[in-house]
Amino acid sequence: MKLEKIMVIGSGQMGNGIAQVCAQAGYEVLLNDMKQEFAEKGLANIVKNLTRDVEKGRKTEEEKQAVLDRITLSTDKKDAADTQLVIEAAVENFEIKKAIFKELDEIVGEDVILSTNTSSLPITDLAAVVSHPERFIGMHFMNPVPVMKLVEIIRGVQTDDETYQAIHDLTLEMNKVPVEVNDSYGFVSNRVLMPMINEAAFTLYQSVATPEAIDQVMELGMNHPMGPLKLADFIGLDTCLSIMQVLYDGFNDPKYRPCPLLKKYVAAGYLGKKSGRGFYKYD
């Protein structure tokens, strides 16, 4: 099946980035969200990213406009009826994602590929709610999407080879690097990364060192470009906690127990850079 038109559901940080790279690859894109104002905010972020590219000489003004011309805003999932691929990038919550795919299952044709940008939830469990689980797959983009090269492609138990190949080829057209991963809680990226961030939070919680010292050890001693606590603030502490909870519940293993300090900060609204306060304070 030839992919020409793609719907991205969710216009937040991940969704608008995915919409941008799809449009840059030459695809018509529907950027969908619950409210027009949410979709417009997502589009504004795409405009900001593209304007920066023009200012830095990476794109011409004409190329920027061509990308924007391929993006249409949507507030109705029924618009997915004439697409060949839907990429869901909603909040990391199983029940919300399940409801989205149940709704889509009533709208799209049987040959349409349904994919999720989940960062931790099992693909097979989400695929179970649709009529054609063989056409269901995970596409886990990294943040920020326009910059980061990796896309984890996760097969569910029933994902067929044709679906995998279509998504593999699309990822290459987006100038990304596809890496195939089998279905598991957290896949590879977050199964390795999030326990490290959680352990850094425990190190702070137990007063072993300050946030600055913990990050400096990992940056200068382990050559990480960004320390784990800074990275957690960038990702969002609520997202980190959600993924740790998925790992803890999914594997039933105490090594994935979320740090109490992480839970306390999220409860207090300290979500990281997006809220102005996380492990660090931001203007």
**Catalytic residue positions, numbered:** 119, 140, 152, 190
Identity (one letter) of the amino acid at 152? E
Distance CA 31, CA 7 (A): 6
Helix, strand, or coil here: 33? coil
Write out the DSSP string of 173-189. HTT-EEEEEES-TTTTH
Q: Please, what is the Cα angle at 107 between 79 and 140, to 5 degrees?
A: 75
Residue 29 token pair: 């894109």
Residue 8 token pair: 């991205």
Residue 69 token pair: 């011309």
Q: How far is CA 196 from the centre of its chain?
A: 19
Residue 175, sorted as left (phi over 0), alpha (psi -120 to 50) or beta, turns out to be left
